[in-house]
Structure 1
Amino acid sequence: MSLANDRIRKLLTIVTEGAIESALVRDLDRLGAHGYTITEARGKGRRGVRNAGWDASSNIRIEVVCNDDTAAAIAAHLQAQYYDNYAMILWASEVEVLRPEKF
């Protein structure tokens, strides 16, 4: 399958504290994400071990497929609003979507 430019999108992956899920969902909707997937996550990082067994220490992983402008807006907002006070990491990668009209 060949890559077509009209099918290339950004995949933003956010791993953060489950306690802020509701606020993040509102932000993603407001910033233009057409959808997202949220799963529970666990692991270890600079702020210690995080597991999904206890709400106060649980992590979530949010994946958003979107265009470049939306990805940039989300990334800038997360950095400005959350990085200083919450355990959060964010990375972006290019993906080819097979149903580009959905994004």
Structure 2
Amino acid sequence: MNLTTVRLVTIIAEPVLKDRLIHEIQALGAHGYTISEVHGEGTRGIHASQWQGGNVKIETIVSPEVAERIVEVVADQYFPNYAVIAYVIPVQVVRSEKFA
């Protein structure tokens, strides 16, 4: 089996950002994504999503270059004013052409 190392980008954010973040990651080169509703507690304290339900977790598997662009945009445009975290993990995939 031939495995290729790519990047799993995970963004956890307030639900009000869901559509904007999906648009951003697609515009930056992601070919697909998975969304889950998640619950937890962080350092920002109370925010609007506590009245709207849980946060959203958006995951996408992309090339290292696309992962870097996504994290840069999220950090620049969303970190200052919203409860958002983002992280990148190297993962190995079969059928790498689906993610490049």
Question: How many pairs align?
Answer: 98
Question: Higher relative CO (CA 8 A, sep ≥ 6), structure 1 or 2?
Answer: 2
Structure 2 distance, partners of 1:76, 1:19, is: 20
CA distance in 2, matches of 1:53, 1:100: 38
Q: Which of 14, 18, 23 is the equivalent residue of 2:20?
A: 23
Where in structure 2 are there 5+ consecutive unaligned residues?
Answer: none
Match of 1:38 in 2: 35
In structure 2, the residue matched to 1:65 is 61
So what's the TM-score if we normalise by structure 2?
A: 0.88
Aligned residues of 1:18 and 1:58 also touching (Cα < 8 A): yes
TM-score, normalising length: structure 1 = 0.85
Distance 2:54 2:44 in 1: 12
For the residue of structure 1 that corresponds to 2:41, the secondary structure is: strand
RMSD: 2.0
Which residue identity is paired with 2:35?
I
- Does residue 12 in structure 1 map to residue 48 in structure 2? no
| Percentage of matched positions with identical amino acids | 38
CA shift, 1:58, in A, is 2.7
